[in-house]
Amino acid sequence: MPSSTVITDRELQQRSECSFYNPTEIDPYEGPSRLTIRWALRERANGIICSYQDLGERWSAEWQKIWGNNTNNQDYWNGERKALSFARRVYEFLLDYEVRHSYEPYTLQLDRGQVKGENALAVWRKYRKGHVPMLIDPLLRSPRYVKTPNYAVLAQWLAAREDDEAVELGIVHLPMIRGERWLTKDVNEQLVRQWINSLVNEAADNGGVPRKGLQCAKCSQPCKEVFTGPEGKDWDKL
């Protein structure tokens, strides 16, 4: 990968799922949740804890922007109820954690290229051991398996690790819509760097192969071309 070429951390995660993966749809709760959490973290970094009510109203306002005047349907009201769930989880997080800095850009230099994105850090008051910095990982819902690697988050953590002199650096995972938050206190830095470096190397070679998985249902570039003949006809048809 030339030095002028970069991959974003979100693209890094997509490449880990499948190098051909291109999502066809975005979760409708993604926009309101991401915009509202960014605002709340900025306020917390400035010493202001947003109230439960303000968080819910802010989320609802972003949700309403998506729908405009088309609010007379069940999907809109199903989403509107998510504001309460979001507000509770984020408000409790803001009470428990100080935000060292809200989202700031980073550049992670690897052997053959760069990963770019943004990360945010909080401080966890660890009992008897002082304050421990934690990367903030806001996600919509807690996954079924919490130890499944998310490479966007790992890239954010590795970039913070290079900039932070603290002995400990963990990750606080914050489900904003469904699920309860959890901590990752220990991360294998050497393995993380190795994995991310491999994904960047794959991108550098313009390589990669399709990988079958749950992402196939939401991919706009299915891999059926492998079964297509020279004139666009399926080889297995007689």
Number of domains in the chain: 1
* 168-185 per-position pLDDT tens digit: 899 999 999 999 999 999
Domain assignment of residue 59, yes or no: yes
Domain assignment of residue 236, yes or no: no
User: Would you state the pLDDT for residue 2?
Assistant: 46
User: Would you state the pLDDT for residue 228?
Assistant: 66
Helix, strand, coil shares of the chain, percent, nearest 5, are 40, 25, 35
Domain assignment of residue 195, yes or no: yes
Q: Which residues, 6 or more positions from 65, have their beta carbon under 8 angstroms from its beta carbon? A: none
| Identity of the residue numbered 86 | F
User: Would you state the pLDDT for residue 130?
Assistant: 73
Domain coverage including residue 148: 6-204
Q: pTM above the 0.85 mark?
A: yes
Domain assignment of residue 233, yes or no: no
* 16-75 per-position pLDDT tens digit: 888 888 777 789 999 999 999 999 999 999 999 999 999 999 999 999 999 888 878 888
Domain assignment of residue 238, yes or no: no
Domain assignment of residue 92, yes or no: yes
Mean pLDDT of 207-231: 74
Please, which pLDDT band fits residue 207 given cuts at 50, 70 and 90? Answer: confident
Q: Give the start-end residues of each E strand in the chain.
A: 6-8, 98-109, 114-126, 130-141, 170-178, 182-184
Give the rounded distance of the alpha carbon of 126 from its chain centre: 25
